[in-house]
Amino acid sequence: MVKTKAVMIGAGLGNMAAAVYLIQEAHWRGEQITFYGADMHGANDGGETSEFGDEYWNKNHPLANQTGYVARGGRMLNYRTYVDLMDLLDRIPSVTEEGMTAAEDTHDFDSHHRTYDKARLLQGGKGIIDGGKLGLNNKDRVLLSKLVLMPDEEETKLDNVTIAEYFKDDPHMFQTNFWYMWETTFAFRIESSVQELRRYMHQMIYEFTQIEHLVGVNRTRYNQFDSIMLPLITYLKDQGVTFLDNRIVTDWEFADSPLQDEITVTGLHVKNLETESEELVDIDDDTAVIFTNGSITDSATMGDYNTPARENMEYGISAALWKKATERFYNLGTPDKFFNDRKNSEWVSFTLTTKNHLLLNEITRITTQVPGNALNSFLSTTPITPLGQKDINMSIVVHHQPHFTTQKPNESVIWGYFLYPRRTGEFVHKQYIKMTGKEMAQELIGQLSKVDPGPNNIKDKEPEILDSIINNIPVYMPYASALFNNRAKSDRPEVIPAHSTNLAFTGEFAEQPYQMIFTEQSAVRSGEIAAYHFTGISMDNLVDTPRYDKDPKTLLKATKRMFS
């Protein structure tokens, strides 16, 4: 049934994309669309620390004293694969570059600041590792080839199979340069779903041939909020869309169905986080409900230079609402697969702000490259995995400066993360998850000192570097990698579930054929599908998804690359 109004639960990228397509393709007025969300940016955040609400900080935290910047996560783009995202950004104006669309802004910036990572892997005592040598043996090559060549219709054979289980007879895979680079570029862990690894290998197979330099990576001019989300918010507000923030939907009202499987939302229980009041919002027959059913930044918390981020044990608010729907209907997935066990999904990230460029210049000297060119990873030289194998300690991204529109010329901002936050630091002897911002900075300096241990060592400058830090914000994200958790194909609901009359799912926890999750691409496409479905627009009008895994030239290049 064609709808004439929409209620958006969650204000992340997927739902904002749906709103843009409803306005531009279905010719809706903005007044026909209402957003409910705890915030108005989803996981694509970034800004001065004072802009983040009390719920993110430790209790009784002196929020008024916060300085510096924070982005809980970072985003890398890829024009060749993120075709729906670029289509979306080409429909809205940039908010920083007059006369450009948001897509033109990104293309313009990227054309002048190409990614070419000369120090993709760094190892203590060895310095820059030659990532061009992937280090694969024949068993690695055979198993990777089987994964890439598996037909789409056989993908369910990988239900509930982890990457570790798939390579159980080939532990060598996890000691290759290829794995270290793939792991840290896309944030896979060996406990992650091999189904997701297969999809990445299909969609990003051409990246296989250039992963040591990341030349396929594109970046926005500023952080993801200023360059992606703020243009969307500004455009939608200008169109008259209603944004109701500090609101969370806590429960559903569904119509009774004689068949017990028809999904029709008739009401939403909405809590106002400012007033603690609740209301029941009626959903009539003309209204679509478009729901982002999980967020990787739900339950995230922040610390500061002297305070670690606390662990928030709450089940994610969006996933909790998803779970209530699954208790009523059988075909809406299994949220507990993603949100009930943090062991394989939690991260700790940090955003470090300095009042001069001393640390930035030291990283430039050690890595031999200018800011904005790279994602650097540090390899441990001591056995820290259960198998006694070396593995990644931390990853950092040194953005082109300024990374924030309000950043001063003398300030630098560096972002990093610990993919395994329960491991213990080598220079600060406590788990990463328990470190303060200062201790994370000390661990970073220590790791860099191992990479370049000669004269003029960065460790000698540690007091001066620490004095230059305005703030370093640790962020605990219990669900950062939840979308990669081991699962079956049916554990995520389809964007339009069977028997749904007015409910759609968007974002990284909605199932779409061939799409990679953890990308702005899949989020945007889910919103596009929902918008077209509820307005009667043919799915033939969806942006064409490239299939590089079907291109013989790309496959041949990848095959040759395996033997490097």
Residues marked as catalytic: 200
| Strands of the 121-123 sheet, one edge to the other | 127-129, 121-123, 374-379, 392-398, 412-418, 347-354, 469-477, 301-302
Both tokens assigned to 235 = 């455009």
DSSP, res 451: H
User: Residues 378, 395: contact at Cβ < 8 Å?
Assistant: yes
The C-alpha atoms of residue 543 and residue 201 are separated, in whole angstroms, by 21
Radius of gyration of the chain (CA): 23
Contact residues for 127 (Cβ-Cβ < 8 A; gap 6+): 451, 452
Contact residues for 168 (Cβ-Cβ < 8 A; gap 6+): none
Amino acid at residue number 210: Q
Burial class (CB in 10 A: 0-12, 13-18, 19+), 108: middle
The C-alpha atoms of residue 37 and residue 247 are separated, in whole angstroms, by 5
User: Which residue do the tokens 């340069």 mark?
Assistant: 177
User: Residues 81, 521: contact at Cβ < 8 Å?
Assistant: yes
Amino acid at residue number 372: G
Specify the pairing of strand 347-354 against strand 301-302.
unpaired
The C-alpha atoms of residue 60 and residue 332 are separated, in whole angstroms, by 39
